[in-house]
Structure 1
Amino acid sequence: MEFRTEIEVSPSRFRIGTDSKIMTVGSCFSEVIGSQLADNKIQCLCNPYGTVFNPSSIFKLVSNSLQNQPVYKHLMVENSGIWQHYDYHSKFYANTREELESLLNQTNKKSQQFLRKANFLVITLGTAIVHQLKENGLVVANCHKAPASTFKKEVLNVKDITLRFSAMYEQLKMHNNKIKILLTVSPVRHTRETLQLNSVSKSILRTACYHIEQEFNDVHYFPSFEIMMDDLRDYRFYKADMIHPNEQAEKYIFEKFSETYFTEDLNSFLKEWHKVKMSLAHRPIQTDTPAHQKFLADLLEKLDGFSDRFDVSSEKEKVLSQLIAA
């Protein structure tokens, strides 16, 4: 007797290897995927623009970076002496317009340089509901606590999203013809707009992803949303807010992700790396015993074995700090 409906992920023609470079953008679930990749020593630029939920803003940020567009100064906003930008997450702020402009241009330049060499761009779409500035109709990524009267709320349709994706895709391919795109819909529930509108929003995003995948042969959809909604359909897989997947759910979804995209070589490395991470997390009561010092020496040797392919300098430094010089 079956007690759950496990999602079968479609096999992917694209494979992420030990030398792959990946950039993640989008909702907070892009942060989850990106941090998991980086934690497993995969070269990853994780959500460089901060958390961005709607596809219009996500595609705009990527396109502007690729074209080396200066940030739009007219979208900077000041509140209590702090400057922020409507196109970017609230983690980007400065005391002056000039400082903020410099910070954002550096962010865009870093994203552009990485995208030109990246093998994969992972995009996580969070919501189809957008806020437009009433004065000019521009969609914002973050309202930065401006009065609600400043904005008009709209719902993007499938055509809006697919057209905006196509424009970004053309720019991306002009700069890096070999890059592949992995699309996913965030499993995080956007309850602020009501659960009813959240369902409408997610259905639009999912339909848009379907059409995009059908149109572009180097785009693949990963069903993180479906895994959460159908496979893990129980509140025990949510955090206390009942909105975000908990650590167990995030780990399960990432395992599905790795099964779908990782090469055998990378999966083999991850098994070995997991053992190393367990050793690094070990907290002995006494660190100066001969047994623990040998444990550290053996661990350092294992790290040295990885150093020709991966950056393990921080891990080696941690181990060396505990080793007692002979």
Structure 2
Amino acid sequence: MADTPQNSPYQGRPSRSFWRGGVVKAGAYPPSDLFEPKFPVDREMKIFTAGSCFAQHVGRVLRENGFNVLDGEPAPEGMPLELAQKHGYRIYSGRYGNVYTVRQMRQLLAEAQGEFIPATPVWEKAGRFYDAQRPNVDPRGLASPELVEKARDQHLHIVLNMLASADLMVFTLGLTEAWEHIETGTIYPTAPGTIAGDFDPEVYRFKNFRAHEVRADFEALRDALKAINPGLKFLLTVSPVPLTATASDQHVLPATVYSKSVLRSVAGELAMDFDDVDYFPSFEIISSHPAPKSFFEDNLRSVTPEGVGRVMKLFLASHGVASAEGDEDGGDDAQKRDRLRALRKARRARRKGDQEKSQADVVCEDELLEAFNK
């Protein structure tokens, strides 16, 4: 065998740079050195969460561990948690429901700033009326279009105030597929007719975003947010949850891989190009082939509590934060006291019934598409 070159650029690289050392012989999965944060995330930061279904897990675990996750639209006092979640409370920082695409988030901010008016903002079903941009937050709809519009105005005011004051935006990228109003470009979280409204191919069309569009949307979103909140930082993740269904002409498997590949590529580029954008590899932890099969439920879509737990344990440990499941070693006495106080706070919240079940309570509108699989 030839001698190993002495001037190779790979010589002297750490074990994490090589598949054998970084994965095969790493021991526990995921490897403890998989993620190196670009900037610290601590319990004092005001955190705004948004994104696709998997983002609900992220927000839940952060709350359980004593992080300051914003809740601008709290549930009415005394409302049971399960009922609250069915009405869009205690899922994200606001009642905007799942935000599957970057374009949707960009339009939400623009609407809150008075710079964008969605087309067909109110959908109807059986005499009840729904907010087309978040049709799942009022499962039975409201009594009139005027009530929908009034509720949305209040919602937008709250969202804008939170974004203007947040320290960190945690945004989970979920899909490239969406439904678009042809004339105005308005993006909806669900296809018209799935929850409410009616689908008219002369009014709406299928949209599958390309990588350059996703990047342009995020850069525009970032610019608009930095204009009102210069200190805001961004933590991007990509949801590992596959598509329930695709409206493209592809088989759902390559359609899923396309969507996730685009989102992962764009998220990585953004993290490389902007100092205030970081990327956490939840997608890789769950979806890569070294991952245990136990990370997915039998439907091969839903992430199990074990998978969520492994993802979030790595995230917390990477930021030097003790998990609510147990304290971490290390740190001086003051740091340990701070961690202990945060852990006690988290445990008290759980004893009050404030801990959501990992999978059963996740709200995903796209799962409704399974009903059309005949």
Q: TM over 0.5, yes or no?
A: yes
Measure, in 1, the Cα distance between the counterparts of 2:55 and 2:128: 27
Spell out, residue by residue over 1:126-165, the C-alpha distance to the aligned partner (whole angstroms, 9 max, x if none).
Answer: 1111212345443222225245544322211111011111
Q: 2:131 aligns with which of 69, 85, 91?
A: 85
User: Is the Cα contact below 8 Å between 1:27 and 1:126 reproduced in 2?
Assistant: yes
Do residues 6 (structure 1) and 30 (structure 2) align? yes
Q: Could you say which residue in structure 2 is the equivalent of 1:224?
A: 282
Measure, in 2, the Cα distance between the counterparts of 1:169 and 1:126: 18
Residue 91 of structure 1 deviates from its aligned partner by 1.1
Moved more, 231-240 or 247-256: 231-240
Measure, in 2, the Cα distance between the counterparts of 1:157 and 1:99: 36
User: Is the Cα contact below 8 Å between 1:68 and 1:109 reproduced in 2?
Assistant: no
User: Where does the alignment leave 5 or more consecutive residues of structure 1 unmatched?
Assistant: 283-313, 316-326
**AA of the residue aligned to 1:51:** N
Spell out, residue by residue over 1:252-292, the C-alpha distance to the aligned partner (whole angstroms, 9 max, x if none).
Answer: 1111121233567888645555467668878xxxxxxxxxx
User: Is the Cα contact below 8 Å between 2:106 and 2:218 reproduced in 1?
Assistant: yes
Measure, in 2, the Cα distance between the counterparts of 1:122 and 1:266: 25
Measure, in 1, the Cα distance between the counterparts of 2:190 and 2:336: 37
User: Is the Cα contact below 8 Å between 1:71 and 1:101 reproduced in 2?
Assistant: no
**AA of the residue aligned to 1:214:** M
Q: 1:29 aligns with which of 31, 47, 54?
A: 54
Measure, in 2, the Cα distance between the counterparts of 1:111 and 1:39: 22
Residue 232 of structure 1 deviates from its aligned partner by 6.2
Q: 1:124 aligns with which of 172, 175, 178?
A: 172
Q: TM-score scaled by structure 1?
A: 0.76
Measure, in 1, the Cα distance between the counterparts of 2:228 and 2:302: 35
**CA, structure 1 residues 279+101, in 2 after alignment: closer, same or farther (shift >3 Å)?**
closer
Measure, in 2, the Cα distance between the counterparts of 1:167 and 1:281: 38
User: Where does the alignment leave 5 or more consecutive residues of structure 2 unmatched?
Assistant: 1-23, 71-91, 247-251, 322-330, 354-374
What SS is found at the alignment partner of 1:104? helix
Residue 239 of structure 1 deviates from its aligned partner by 2.6
Q: TM-score scaled by structure 2?
A: 0.67
**CA, structure 1 residues 279+103, in 2 after alignment: closer, same or farther (shift >3 Å)?**
closer
Residue 23 of structure 1 deviates from its aligned partner by 0.4
Do residues 153 (structure 1) and 211 (structure 2) align? no
Higher helix share: 1
Measure, in 1, the Cα distance between the counterparts of 2:336 and 2:243: 33
Q: Could you say which residue in structure 2 is the equivalent of 1:114?
A: 162
Spell out, residue by residue over 1:201-252, the C-alpha distance to the aligned partner (whole angstroms, 9 max, x if none).
Answer: 1001111112222222100011110010127633322234321111111111
Q: Could you say which residue in structure 1 is the equivalent of 2:107?
A: 60
Do residues 183 (structure 1) and 236 (structure 2) align? yes
What SS is found at the alignment partner of 1:241? coil
User: Is the Cα contact below 8 Å between 2:119 and 2:184 reproduced in 1?
Assistant: no
Q: Could you say which residue in structure 2 is the equivalent of 1:195?
A: 253
**CA, structure 1 residues 267+170, in 2 after alignment: closer, same or farther (shift >3 Å)?**
farther
Q: Could you say which residue in structure 2 is the equivalent of 1:205?
A: 263
Spell out, residue by residue over 1:163-221, the C-alpha distance to the aligned partner (whole angstroms, 9 max, x if none).
Answer: 11111111111111111000110011113121210001100111111222222210001
Q: What do you get for the CA RMSD once the two structures are aligned?
A: 2.9
